[in-house]
Chain A
Amino acid sequence: GENVEQHPSTLSVQEGDSAVIKCTYSDSASNYFPWYKQELGKRPQLIIDIRSNVGEKKDQRIAVTLNKTAKHFSLHITETQPEDSAVYFCAASKYNNNDMRFGAGTRLTVKP
């Protein structure tokens, strides 16, 4: 089955800097890649997703890039703010969400 690896496990940046989180996946048939943000004790919330027919997607300070050949995708957060501090999860799935696999998460800390 699909295997998703996520790096780094922890990331600390200064407010205003950029943060990059990377994920790799094993199944070349995967075609949907969401990113979730989970604040302490809260539910995971979708922040951005990308499908395999595009290479990049941007939403304000958040962007995701996908390299299908190398089977990796990345989350980019620019101009980080303290409220960006949370655990971020990447995931990958094929035709539907029944086979979605999550990465182990990255704990991002933005220092004021």
Chain B
Amino acid sequence: NAGVTQTPKFRILKIGQSMTLQCAQDMNHNYMYWYRQDPGMGLKLIYYSVGAGITDKGEVPNGYNVSRSTTEDFPLRLELAAPSQTSVYFCASSYLQENQPQHFGDGTRLSIL
């Protein structure tokens, strides 16, 4: 199994541009998550999904959108990039059962200039 795969690994955007961060998992996990990690800080939940067709906001959803058309994929979209969105983005997944460990991807380092 590849686990959780994120693309791209690095990206530089100009203010106002848009982009989609890709995330795919091959572990048949129901739950998927997007986090951002700012320098010297912990992870903050942006959006999560409990299954195909179901998404919900996390702690810091403003400026982002997600979709979950399949169990495997959970893309994160930035519509109008702002400098405050410069961060490292991690996608994670876990099983449906209560309190199961999350498996993380390698992250996408995004800079907005």
Which residues in A have some Cβ–Cβ distance to B below 8 Å?
A: 1, 4, 6, 31-32, 34, 42-46, 49, 51, 89, 91, 93, 95-98, 100-105
From B45, B90, B98, B104, give the contact of A100 (CB < 8 A).
Answer: B45
State whether A51 touches B99 (Cβ < 8 A).
Answer: yes
Check if B53 is an interface residue, CB within 8 A of chain A: no
Check if B58 is an interface residue, CB within 8 A of chain A: yes
Tell me the bound Cα distance from A45 to B107 in angstroms.
12
Tell me the bound Cα distance from A100 to B33 in angstroms.
11
State whether A93 touches B105 (Cβ < 8 A).
Answer: no
Q: Which residue of B lies closest to A45 (CB)?
A: B104
Which residues in B have some Cβ–Cβ distance to A below 8 Å?
A: 31, 33, 40-45, 48, 50, 56, 58-59, 90, 94, 98-107
State whether A97 touches B31 (Cβ < 8 A).
Answer: yes
Tell me the bound Cα distance from A4 to B44 in angstroms.
12
From A43, A46, A96, A101, give the contact of B101 (CB < 8 A).
Answer: A46
From A42, A45, A104, give the contact of B40 (CB < 8 A).
Answer: A104
State whether B104 touches A44 (Cβ < 8 A).
Answer: yes
Min C-beta distance of A103 to chain B, whole Å:
5
- Which residues in B have their C-beta under 8 angstroms from that of A97? 31, 33, 48, 94, 99-100, 102
- Which residues in A have their C-beta under 8 angstroms from that of B44? 102
Min C-beta distance of A42 to chain B, whole Å:
7
Min C-beta distance of A62 to chain B, whole Å:
15
State whether A98 touches B106 (Cβ < 8 A).
Answer: no
State whether B43 touches A98 (Cβ < 8 A).
Answer: no
Asked whether A93 and B99 contact (CB < 8 A) given A42-B106, A45-B104, the answer is yes
Tell me the bound Cα distance from A98 to B32 in angstroms.
9
- Which residues in B have their C-beta under 8 angstroms from that of A102? 42-44
A-B contact pairs, 30 of them (CB 8 A): A1-B59, A4-B42, A6-B42, A31-B99, A32-B98, A42-B106, A43-B104, A43-B106, A44-B104, A46-B103, A51-B99, A89-B43, A91-B42, A95-B98, A95-B99, A96-B31, A97-B31, A97-B48, A97-B94, A98-B31, A98-B48, A98-B50, A98-B56, A98-B58, A100-B45, A100-B102, A101-B42, A101-B59, A104-B42, A105-B40
